[in-house]
Amino acid sequence: MKKNKEIKKANEEYEYLTGDEEIKRLSELREKWIRDYNSGISEGFETGKNYGYETGKSEGYKTGIN
């Protein structure tokens, strides 16, 4: 299974390097989308974690649990 993924990735890289300009452009756009998506997920996670921490801290002070 892992080898199949590695072969697929290698094939994609080969096509990227030898393909025409349209294929290169589409590949770059896909890679950008993946990076942007992962960045958004990471940012959302951190925001949610911080919100949860602050909310829990605030609730703890309200109930007298420090």
- Does the model's pTM come out above 0.75? no
For residue 27, what are the contacts with CB-CB under 8 A and spacing of at least 6? 12, 15, 16, 19
Question: pLDDT, tens digit, for every residue of 19-46?
Answer: 677 777 888 899 999 999 988 888 888 8
Based on its alpha-carbon atoms, the radius of gyration of the chain, rounded to whole angstroms, reads 22
